[in-house]
Amino acid sequence: MTWKDVLAFVIDAETDAPAIRLSELVSNRFNAKRAIVLLTALPDEPLAYEPTVVAGVWAELLARARGQSDAERKKIEPLLDDAVTRCEMRTAEALSRDLGRVGAVHARYADVAILTRPVVGESGDLREELVEGVLFHAGRPALIAPPEWKGAMIGKRPLIAWDASREATRALADAAPLIEGADSVAVVTIDAKPKTFGHGEQPGANIAAHLNRRGLAVDVRNIDSMGRGTAQAILDEAEAVSADLIVMGGYAHSRLREMVFGGATRDLLRTAPMPILMAH
């Protein structure tokens, strides 16, 4: 089944230009309906002893946040006017801590949610909250563009980060429309071992056979990390095969474990130079 509803999230026009660009590229490819959701993160109610002080300060903070959002909308509209595909513009607002769940609600009514990856700076935490909200609560894949990405195509040389998990399987199924007709597909495993309840007798062989039956040319690359982190090993292989997309499961471990011990999901979200399609 092809994609017919493409949704992109924007917090500010400049930083999220890659998500806007990627949504146009994808919607043109599938002749899909395209929508942009401009998200406004509202401030939490300030703490004070005097209710009248609280009300006045909060009203000022709300007005400032909404004013900034309106300014971003005016920056985005010219970009959409120049696009080939007609685009619907929506707005949504929520407290910062609820932004991910609000985004997830919108993403449920699209085939894919497109975002710019978390960046260092004021909006980094908001973007991470948004990515996690979509992954955990939308039931839809997240297609995440790196900062300043200006690619002309996607899905011609995908790399499948394969660990034989449920999350990786879900991501690969969700990516099917995007990688259909790919010139080549690299299936990459990191430190994989034969296991009955996992990779099987030969890591990568079963999923490669499945993709072959879908008409895709697959190169299985079973990689020894040699002391590198999983994310770095994946990125090194992506560079070696000139991948234009990474497909992987997101947060196979709990978010708390990823936060404390680190994990491939967080590391790739912060460093990958090409788009990533993730599902949970």
pLDDT 10s digits, 94-122: 888 899 999 999 999 999 999 998 876 65
For all residues of the chain together, what is the average pLDDT? Answer: 87
* Helix (H/G/I), strand (E/B), else coil: 252: coil
User: What is the CATH classification number for the domain harbouring 256?
Assistant: 3.40.50.620
* Structure token digits, residue 262: 């680190």
pLDDT 10s digits, 158-201: 999 999 999 999 999 999 999 999 999 999 999 988 877 778 78
What's the number of domains the chain is made of? 2
User: Are the CB atoms for 134 and 113 separated by under 8 Å?
Assistant: yes
For CA atoms 25, 28, 32, 35, the dihedral sign is positive
Q: Same domain for 162 and 141?
A: no
Judge whether 36 lies within some domain: yes
Could you list the residue range(s) of the whole structural domain that residue 180 is in? Answer: 158-279
Judge whether 151 lies within some domain: no
Q: Same domain for 29 and 131?
A: yes
Share of the chain above pLDDT 70, in %: 89
Helix axes 51-81, 17-30, angle to 10 degrees: 50
Walking along the chain (280 residues) 10 residues at a time, the average pLDDT comes out as 93 92 94 94 69 68 85 83 72 90 96 89 77 92 93 94 93 96 95 82 91 95 92 95 94 50 74 93
Domain's final residue, options 95, 110, 145: 145
Judge whether 236 lies within some domain: yes
Share of the chain above pLDDT 90, in %: 58
Answer whether 0.85 is exceeded by the pTM. yes
